[in-house]
Chains A and B, each alone.
Chain A
Amino acid sequence: MKKIPILQIEDLYKQFPVTRTFTDRIKRAPKQVVHALDGVSFTVDQGEILALVGESGSGKTTVGMNVLGLQVPTKGRILFDGYDVADWATGRLRSRKNGDELGRLSRRKQILALRRRAQMVFQDPYESLNPRQTTWEIVVEPLEIHHLGLSADEKEARVRAALEDCGLAPADHFWSRYPDELSGGQRQRVVVAGALVLEPELLVADEPVSMLDVSIRADILTLLQSLRKARDITIIYTTHDLATAGYFTDRMAVMYLGRIVELGSTVEVLKEPHHPYTQALVSVAPVPNPRKRRKRMILQGEVPNPIDVPSGCRFHPRCPIATEECKMTDPPYVEISTGHKAACLKI
């Protein structure tokens, strides 16, 4: 299979200002910013499933938000199919070359065009569905918003295909049901169907299974995997659970405090982690077999406050092998094998 990059993320920075209280102003306390993303670069190929893993506060959700243009990066850019997402999502794309239709569209139409191609699946299916809408209303709504000029029959066919691809077959059984008449797994399927009905090329799934039961979890993950086959869709899967990511993703990016510390094929990263942070994460992930109990490499404390990012290597305060050098030098990426890199001075 030829690899065509669909998404290029180049040196992305995202900072959020910290709200200053009245007393802060009087005391003339310095302005502070949260460094949510601090130089993130990677590309995603068409039809690939990429896992973004890390603890809370590592910036994985922020990446997803920026990729979809729901937030505007402070620095750096994201190219989706060659277009800058930040401009696209605000309808500010300009015509770049002759015959480029997109840049000539009105703002609203530009934004809709992006939404049609990139969609999101949220974490909690108990909260992301409107309890007063039926399954049909939820799934057909994107089609109505986008005025695709579809006839009633075509709409029905689209909704049916989306629901049945998501395992809600026959679709007629489900479309007059309200969310409270569905089980947790069915709800998450409806959420995925709602994202799929526009036939997007890119899906950002933010912790889509963390609220679900073991068996349903396996179900939804298998579903995401089958969607790639059925619709050649590209998926960015955000999670803190390495085991679920290991099951169905092609590549894995491990994030720590707004940086990618290790990136490579999922199997390679899990079997031979090189960055000490990845090693620790892999070692503490519970293995469902008492014969395979491993020595846990427990990091003390928690992810530091992203307002004061540690100097040098940002992982040094918790790193078991850190030396003086690590406090000073920000480590560059080291290529371990083709497509597998890690940012650590000790490799």
Chain B
Amino acid sequence: MTTLEVRNLSINYITDDGVALNAVEGLTFSLEQGRSLGLVGESGCGKTTVMLSLIRLLPEAGRIVNGQVLFEGRDLLQISERDMQAVRWKDVSMVFQGAMNALNPVRTVESQIVEVLQLHSIVNSTKDARIRTGVLLELVGITAKRGKQYPHQFSGGMRQRAVIAMALACNPRILIADEPTTALDVMIQAQIIELLEQLQRELNLSLVLVTHDLGVVAEMCDDVLVMYGGTVAEYANSDTIFNNPQHPYTQRLLKAFPDIAEPGSELASIPGNPPRLDNLPPGCRFEPRCHVGNGEPICLKELPPLVEIEPGHHVACHLVDEKESHEKNTHPSNRRPL
């Protein structure tokens, strides 16, 4: 069953001068119950903006100008703020970026989780809340009695676990994790990945993982959505993305990432920088850095639509379209836009 479906989502940021900057354009994806989706791309490509918009926590300057966010068929962008509050944390919850520093330093870890439970009326009494907090902490591998301690008495990895416990407090259906393993040590990172995988299995969670670490995505995610300059570059299952990438950006991104299984292999960075929002290229947003295109007029003029080149494999590139039709000789009518 499709738990989350995002259709044609576009987000603008309004500057102080009243200029609208297009941060996300025409984003479309869907997430089945119990599956995991990885959202990857360089910094500044709109990953975090997308995640914040899913739970309607965009900063004040952010405006959702178009699209739908369907949670079990209900459009979260249309409901009132009060209804949204009920959805947040109970249906869709989030582990924020830099979660290690997201805990309040002057309150015990337990009291912070108890607060979540009480705000959402999950429990009847403080005593029940404490019991449930203990269960949650044990679930993420922390001894319940350590809940009485303050965040500074926890190590980085434990703080990350505590934040995950908090996100799970209200039995959400979807967990959005924004860079949950960056800034952690290798072994701790592996422990957190293992924990998220185990929780996903046991609780049948749907997971959206936002990260720039392709390795973590390859380890954890069923599907991958590669974002560039606020648009979808490529969207497919993880095997396709890593072994048969079609979009030039995906190909370059993979080449720029060192593979520990192949020590000494070549590494190539992507020349140039991601586009600035106030200076987006008029056509394809990757065109200035693209190694495949040669300034083809269509790339310079038009934003490429997201096309399904084979079942479940979506690519937004004018050139892939052509190449595919030459190579596989598929009739253009077989390719339907999303």
- Report which A residues bind B (CB closer than 8 A): 55-56, 183, 185, 213-219, 221-222, 240-244, 246-248, 266-267, 270-271, 280-282, 284-293, 296, 298-300, 302
- B305 on interface, CB distance cutoff 8 Å: no
Q: Is the CB of B261 within 8 A of A292?
A: yes
Interface of A is mostly: helix
CB-contacts of B255-278 with A (<8 A): 255-261, 263-265, 267-270, 273
Q: Is the CB of A247 within 8 A of B258?
A: yes
* Residue from A280, A281, A296 having most chain B Cβ neighbours under 10 A: A296
Choose among B218, B263, B267, B273 the residue that contacts A271 (Cβ–Cβ < 8 A): B263
Contacts of B270 in A (CB 8 A): 215
CB distance from B248 to the nearest CB of A (A): 13
**What are 27 of the A-B contact pairs (CB < 8 Å)?**
A55-B187, A56-B185, A183-B273, A213-B43, A215-B253, A218-B255, A218-B257, A218-B268, A219-B269, A246-B264, A247-B263, A267-B264, A270-B263, A282-B260, A284-B186, A284-B189, A284-B190, A285-B215, A286-B193, A286-B213, A286-B214, A289-B261, A290-B218, A292-B261, A293-B219, A296-B194, A298-B187
CB-contacts of B137-187 with A (<8 A): 155, 157, 185-187
Q: Is the CB of B219 within 8 A of A286?
A: yes
Choose among B191, B212, B258 the residue that contacts A213 (Cβ–Cβ < 8 A): B212
- B42 on interface, CB distance cutoff 8 Å: yes
Task: Provide the bound-state CA to CA distance between A292 and B257, in Å.
Answer: 15
Least CB separation from B263: chain A residue: A246
Contacts of A300 in B (CB 8 A): 191
* Residue from A246, A266, A289, A296 having most chain B Cβ neighbours under 10 A: A289
Q: Is the CB of A299 within 8 A of B214?
A: no
Contacts of B238 in A (CB 8 A): 290
- Report which B residues bind A (CB closer than 8 A): 42-43, 155, 157, 185-191, 193-194, 212-219, 238-239, 242-243, 252-261, 263-265, 267-270, 273
Task: Provide the bound-state CA to CA distance between A278 and B187, in Å.
Answer: 11
Contacts of B215 in A (CB 8 A): 243, 285-288
Least CB separation from A239: chain B residue: B186
Q: Is the CB of B242 within 8 A of A290?
A: yes
Beyond the given A214-B212, A270-B260, please list 13 additional residue pairs across the A-B interface where CB-CB is below 8 A. Answer: A55-B186, A213-B212, A214-B214, A215-B42, A218-B255, A240-B186, A241-B186, A243-B260, A247-B264, A284-B187, A284-B190, A286-B193, A299-B187
Contacts of B256 in A (CB 8 A): 214-215, 217-218
* Residue from A214, A241, A280 having most chain B Cβ neighbours under 10 A: A214
Q: Is the CB of A242 within 8 A of B260?
A: yes
Task: Provide the bound-state CA to CA distance between A290 and B238, in Å.
Answer: 7
Least CB separation from A184: chain B residue: B43
Q: Is the CB of A287 within 8 A of B218?
A: yes
CB distance from A209 to the nearest CB of B (A): 10
Q: Is the CB of A266 within 8 A of B263?
A: yes
Contacts of B218 in A (CB 8 A): 286-290, 293
Q: Is the CB of A222 within 8 A of B269?
A: yes
Task: Provide the bound-state CA to CA distance between A271 and B265, in Å.
Answer: 13
Which 7 pairs across A and B sit closest by C-beta, in order of nearness? A286-B215, A284-B190, A246-B263, A218-B269, A219-B269, A218-B256, A243-B260
Least CB separation from B257: chain A residue: A288
Least CB separation from A58: chain B residue: B185
Choose among B186, B254, B257 the residue that contacts A242 (Cβ–Cβ < 8 A): B186
Contacts of B239 in A (CB 8 A): 290-291
CB distance from A142 to the nearest CB of B (A): 27
Least CB separation from B239: chain A residue: A290
Task: Provide the bound-state CA to CA distance between A248 and B258, in Å.
Answer: 10
Q: Is the CB of B185 within 8 A of A55?
A: yes
CB distance from A299 to the nearest CB of B (A): 5
Task: Provide the bound-state CA to CA distance between A219 and B243, in Å.
Answer: 23
Choose among A214, A267, A298 the residue that contacts B257 (Cβ–Cβ < 8 A): A214
CB distance from B184 to the nearest CB of A (A): 9
Contacts of A241 in B (CB 8 A): 186
Task: Provide the bound-state CA to CA distance between A292 and B219, in Å.
Answer: 9
Contacts of A293 in B (CB 8 A): 218-219
Task: Provide the bound-state CA to CA distance between A289 and B260, in Å.
Answer: 11
Task: Provide the bound-state CA to CA distance between A214 and B42, in Å.
Answer: 7
* Residue from B185, B239, B258 having most chain A Cβ neighbours under 10 A: B258
Q: Is the CB of A216 within 8 A of B269?
A: yes
CB distance from A256 to the nearest CB of B (A): 11
CB distance from B40 to the nearest CB of A (A): 9
Contacts of B216 in A (CB 8 A): 286
Contacts of B267 in A (CB 8 A): 218, 221-222, 247-248
Q: Is the CB of A267 within 8 A of B219?
A: no
Q: Is the CB of A247 within 8 A of B219?
A: no
Contacts of A56 in B (CB 8 A): 185
Task: Provide the bound-state CA to CA distance between A235 and B273, in Å.
Answer: 27
Choose among B186, B213, B259, B268 the residue that contacts A289 (Cβ–Cβ < 8 A): B259
Contacts of B255 in A (CB 8 A): 218
Least CB separation from B221: chain A residue: A290
Least CB separation from A223: chain B residue: B269
Assuming the A-B contacts A213-B42, A214-B212, are A287 and B263 also in contact, with contact meaning beta carbons closer than 8 angstroms in the complex? no
CB distance from B337 to the nearest CB of A (A): 27
Contacts of B243 in A (CB 8 A): 289, 291
Task: Provide the bound-state CA to CA distance between A185 and B269, in Å.
Answer: 11
Contacts of A302 in B (CB 8 A): 155, 157, 185, 187-188
